[in-house]
């Protein structure tokens, strides 16, 4: 009887671990898709048609405001926050991959803007908000 | 830590990061895509290391310097 219960407990633990891994994998996949969308210049701040309209939820017009570089920064920081909230030991490399394109943006010569934005991105991503 | 020394640490961090970033266009031009990505990640990692070891500590010691960084960037586009 005890042996049967122990086997049942062990099976339950394995089942829950497997279910957890499946859910974690789904989160990872979604983050990768989001990361890809950001790299393709996806802008979550771009306005959408309000709910109740025939095209409700569809993208409309451009985001405007800070221009392309500003929009990209906002999007990348948003992804960085999501990675931070997902939390895993692999975060450092993922955060580096996410944030380093900020250092490649065209800026005025001798500008320090990229360094500061990269710094903010890494700290957001690694949850090191000081 | 003295506030002047903290600001000098921040300026040195930005200056070093700027010099490393200046290499990116030349690396992109002369290296294969894979090599470039390795170098770019390496440079980003080095900048992050400097920021963590120097800049973050200086800002932690004098939090008001973060606002000074923002102000300099807004006015000059760089840390003066």
Strand partners, A59: A48
Q: Does the residue A51 lie in any domain?
A: no
List Cα–Cα distances, A6 to A2, A9, A12, A14, in angstroms. Answer: 6, 5, 10, 12
Q: Does the residue A16 lie in any domain?
A: yes
Tokens of B38: 């390795």
> What confidence tier does A102 reach under pLDDT thresholds 50, 70, 90?
very high
> What are the sequence ranges of the domains in chain B?
3-76
Q: Which residue has the higher pLDDT, A80 or A59?
A: A80
User: How far apart are alpha carbons A126 and A129 in whole angstroms?
Assistant: 8
Cα–Cα nearest to A117, from A75, A84, A77: A77
> What confidence tier does B66 reach under pLDDT thresholds 50, 70, 90?
very high
Lowest mean pLDDT: which of A41-50, A56-65, A77-86, B70-79? Answer: A56-65
Q: How far apart are the first and last CA of chain B?
A: 20
| 3-class SS shares of chain A: helix, strand, coil, % to 5 | 65, 0, 35
User: How far apart are alpha carbons B78 and A113 in whole angstroms?
Assistant: 7
pLDDT at A69 over 80: no
Q: Which residue has the higher pLDDT, A86 or B28?
A: B28
**Cβ contacts of B70 within 8 Å, gap of 6 or more:** A116
**Cβ contacts of A92 within 8 Å, gap of 6 or more:** A126
Mean pLDDT throughout A96-112?
Answer: 89
Evaluate whether A111 touches B78 at the Cβ level (below 8 Å): yes
Q: Which residue has the higher pLDDT, B27 or A36?
A: B27
Cβ–Cβ gap B73/A116 under 8 Å: yes
Q: Does the residue A100 lie in any domain?
A: yes
Chain B residues closer than 8 Å to A130 by CB = 56, 59-60
Q: How far is A18 from chain B (nearest CA, A)?
A: 33
Q: Please give the pLDDT value at position A54.
A: 44
Look up the domain containing A84 and give its range. 2-41+66-125
User: How far apart are alpha carbons A114 and B20 in whole angstroms?
Assistant: 12
User: How far apart are alpha carbons B41 and A26 in whole angstroms?
Assistant: 26
Chain B residues closer than 8 Å to A120 by CB = none
Q: Does the residue A60 lie in any domain?
A: no
Mean pLDDT throughout B28-39?
Answer: 95
Q: Please give the pLDDT value at position B28.
A: 94
Q: How far apart are the first and last CA of chain A?
A: 55
Chain B residues closer than 8 Å to A98 by CB = none
pLDDT at A8 over 50: yes
Is residue B12 classed exposed, middle or buried when 0-12, 13-18 and 19+ CB atoms within 10 A define those classes?
middle
Q: Please give the pLDDT value at position A63.
A: 35
Instruction: Render pLDDT for B47-63 as a digit per residue (tens, 0 to 9).
Output: 999 999 999 999 999 99
Cβ–Cβ gap B73/A107 under 8 Å: no
Mean pLDDT throughout A39-60?
Answer: 49
State the ipTM, two decimals.
Answer: 0.91
Q: Please give the pLDDT value at position A55.
A: 44
Cβ–Cβ gap B47/A111 under 8 Å: no
Evaluate whether A117 touches B69 at the Cβ level (below 8 Å): no
Domain count, chain A: 1
Chain A residues near any Cβ of chain B (below 8 Å): 96-97, 99-100, 103-104, 107-108, 110-116, 118-119, 122-123, 128, 130
């Amino acid at each position: 009887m005890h042996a049967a219960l122990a086997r049942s407990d062990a099976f339950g633990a394995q089942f829950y671990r497997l279910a957890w891994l499946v859910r974690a994998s789904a989160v990872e996949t979604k983050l990768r898709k989001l990361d890809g969308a950001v790299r393709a210049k996806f802008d979550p701040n771009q306005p959408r048609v309000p709910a109740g309209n025939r095209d409700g939820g569809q993208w409309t017009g451009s985001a405007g405001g800070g221009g392309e570089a500003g929009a990209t920064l906002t999007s990348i920081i948003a992804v960085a926050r999501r990675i931070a909230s997902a939390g895993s030991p692999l975060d450092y490399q993922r955060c580096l991959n996410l944030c380093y394109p900020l250092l490649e943006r065209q800026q005025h010569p001798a500008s320090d803007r990229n360094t500061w934005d990269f710094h903010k991105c890494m700290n957001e991503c690694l949850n090191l908000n000081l | 830590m003295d506030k002047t020394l903290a600001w000098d640490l921040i300026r040195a961090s930005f200056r070093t990061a700027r010099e490393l970033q200046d290499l990116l266009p030349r690396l992109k031009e002369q290296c294969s895509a894979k090599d470039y990505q390795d170098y770019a990640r390496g440079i980003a990692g080095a900048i992050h290391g400097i920021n963590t070891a120097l800049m973050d500590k200086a800002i932690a010691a004098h939090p008001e310097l973060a606002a000074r960084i923002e102000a300099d960037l807004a006015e000059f586009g760089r840390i003066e």
